[in-house]
Amino acid sequence: MKFFLTSMFGKETSRGDRRFGLDRMVFLLSLFILVVTVLMPMIMIVVRTFFKEGAPDWEMFVRVVLEPENLSAVWNTIKIGFLVTVFGTVLGLFYAWLIGRSDIPMKGFMKALFTIPYMFPPFFGAMAWSLMLAPRSGYFNKWFMSLTGGTTPLLDINTVGGIVFVETCYYFPFVFLQVVSALERMDPTLEESARIAGAGQWYVIRKITLPLVLPAIAAGAMLILISSISHFGVPAILGFSNNIFTLPTKIFQLINRAAGSFEGIREGAALSVLLVVVVVAALYIQRLVLKTGRYDIIKGKSMRPMLIKLRGAKIPLLGISLLSLFVIVALPLFMIFIVGFLKAYGLPLTLKNLTLRNYEYILGQSKMVRDSIVNSLILSVGSGVVTMFLGVMIAYVIIKVRPRGKGLLEMLSLLPYSIPGLVLAIGVILVWSGAFGVNLYNTIWIIFIAYIARYVSFAMKSASASLEQVHYSLEEAARSCGATHLESLRDITIPLIRPGMIAGFFLIFLPAMRELTTSVLLYGPFTRTLGVAIYAINSEGNTVQASALATVAIGIIILGHLVLRYVTRERKGL
């Protein structure tokens, strides 16, 4: 605490130069916002879990944790997380090696396809696969049953296996992208010298390439694990009907069933603590794994690696890749798109069954849907702008001002990265529903605050990356030319990081636009978000309208990505 106080009121900073006013104000303001939006919710979860009316209370936590239903949810969470990680890593590695190290054709096209699962929320995938493989109503199962004449479906998506499949489809790009970039940056002479020394191709892959990209694999795999453990949408859509619960869906059910009662929220908080423990355990394992392998031989610049000739296997491998990418990426989007035009779910997919009525309903008649689109737009743009500036402020303090206490600021801004969205939502409820005299429950502001906390890490990282490019001498040159500190920021620093700021905005706007996990606990009667609306319509059984609305969301997201592409294209002079 002492270092903290000196930094607030304090004498010398670590760089020896002390700037009054603006810098210290920015530091304190960032710290204050982070404490309120990020730290307070976490503290409140712990406090509410282990204290009741001011007295320590372990009994509730123990009871909730030991409840058989909850234990099975924990087991499901771990099982699904583990399986998704294993399959996602294998799939990601396979494609990464094909694209990074083999002479397979159509690399650009395939790489572009891999970014698609990144763009859309996994619960769209769950909806789409449910359309195809729900045990009785799914189109594929119906075709199969009419073909065989039996009543046994081909596959049942409403199972743990189904959940694992859909999550794998959406999370394998984590490993893929990490490993591809590591392979591209790896010095090819490392492999070439092994070949010259007489090692065979397979030996080089096992003994040279794989160990070198191991840190990248580990990083990607842990990202999958953490994402899967905290994930809500897919198990919610595919698991509820068969009573398959994971920790996040169980927390949601508890809170929903309690209908806002305090004890229900406390139980939800208790499960949240458990969920955070699981995530922290996963992060700890990641640290252990990453510590064992840090290699500097992976260089920053990209080089032309030695490509492995696939020869006879080229065409079959290309076929398998394209087919699997088609199934993983294109088919679900197509299903959602086409079902959105159906008169009723279950009708054969023929031209005469298509209609625009669903769009008329969702965009015209349903006030709830229109409100949700407006809400999501306001929330995404609003939290995008605010969080982006917050990220710039924090990054500026950490990189340029460097006061004592910057470590704390950095930690707080990166913390939300590893907090599941649902846990954050519960924390935000606990802080902002009157506990400190402010009640924002059922207003749009409570979602706004949660979004700031949820996306501040993205904004901070994106702003840091561009601020690090601005050497401090550029600002000092402006100072020596007669510009005040504020003027040097306005004339030099801000214009130079503007492209990074715009990219940072979209990094928040895009996920916020399709967000479900956090808002599903925070929405009120008039503050549904687009994600919540799709989820609600879908779970009410109005599949065609849900698909139509999902198509609208897909359109908005694609548009956003196109704008992002346009904004971040190569610039001259910067």
From the list 224-232, 290-298, 466-474, 536-544, the region that binds other proteins by CB under 8 A is: 466-474
**16 vs 525 by CB, closer to other proteins:** 16
- Residue 364 makes CB contacts below 8 A (sequence gap 6+) with none
**Does residue number 573 form part of the binding site for other proteins (CB under 8 A)?**
yes
Q: Write the burial class of residue 97 (CB in 10 Å: 0-12 exposed, 13-18 middle, 19+ buried).
A: buried
**Does residue number 10 form part of the binding site for other proteins (CB under 8 A)?**
no
**19 vs 111 by CB, closer to other proteins:** 19
The amino acid that residue 507 corresponds to is L
Rg from Cα positions in the chain: 25
CA–CA distance, 345 with 411 (Å, rounded to integer): 48
CA–CA distance, 549 with 147 (Å, rounded to integer): 32
- Give the one residue of 312, 480, 541, 566 binding other proteins; rule: CB under 8 A: 480
**Does residue number 311 form part of the binding site for other proteins (CB under 8 A)?**
no
CA–CA distance, 424 with 451 (Å, rounded to integer): 9
**Does residue number 63 form part of the binding site for other proteins (CB under 8 A)?**
no
Residue 7: CB minimum distance to other proteins, A: 13
- Give the one residue of 487, 555, 558, 562 binding other proteins; rule: CB under 8 A: 487
- Candidates 462, 452, 432, 435; CA nearest to 524 is 432
CA–CA distance, 498 with 399 (Å, rounded to integer): 17
**How many residues bind other proteins, per CB under 8 A?**
27
Residue 11: CB minimum distance to other proteins, A: 11
SS3 of 445, please? helix
Q: What's 563's DSSP letter?
A: H
From the list 253-261, 359-367, 489-497, 557-565, the region that binds other proteins by CB under 8 A is: 489-497
Which residue is associated with the tokens 């694209």?
99
**211 vs 407 by CB, closer to other proteins:** 407
Residue 405: CB minimum distance to other proteins, A: 15
Residue 21: CB minimum distance to other proteins, A: 11
From the list 151-159, 172-180, 261-269, 481-489, the region that binds other proteins by CB under 8 A is: 481-489
Q: Write the burial class of residue 301 (CB in 10 Å: 0-12 exposed, 13-18 middle, 19+ buried).
A: exposed
Which residue is associated with the tokens 């706007």?
509
- Give the one residue of 5, 17, 25, 284 binding other proteins; rule: CB under 8 A: 17
**Does residue number 473 form part of the binding site for other proteins (CB under 8 A)?**
yes
Q: Provide the 10 A C-beta neighbour count for residue 406.
A: 19
DSSP 3-state percent helix, strand, coil across the chain (nearest 5): 75, 0, 25
**Does residue number 9 form part of the binding site for other proteins (CB under 8 A)?**
no
**Does residue number 501 form part of the binding site for other proteins (CB under 8 A)?**
no
**Does residue number 438 form part of the binding site for other proteins (CB under 8 A)?**
no
In what helix (H) or strand (E) does residue 518 lie, and over which residues does it extend? none
- Give the one residue of 5, 344, 481, 562 binding other proteins; rule: CB under 8 A: 481
Q: Write the burial class of residue 455 (CB in 10 Å: 0-12 exposed, 13-18 middle, 19+ buried).
A: buried
- Give the one residue of 484, 524, 540, 559 binding other proteins; rule: CB under 8 A: 484
**Does residue number 14 form part of the binding site for other proteins (CB under 8 A)?**
yes
- Give the one residue of 320, 323, 356, 477 binding other proteins; rule: CB under 8 A: 477
**Binding residues for other proteins (CB under 8 A):** 12, 14-18, 471, 473-474, 476-485, 487, 491-492, 495-496, 572-574
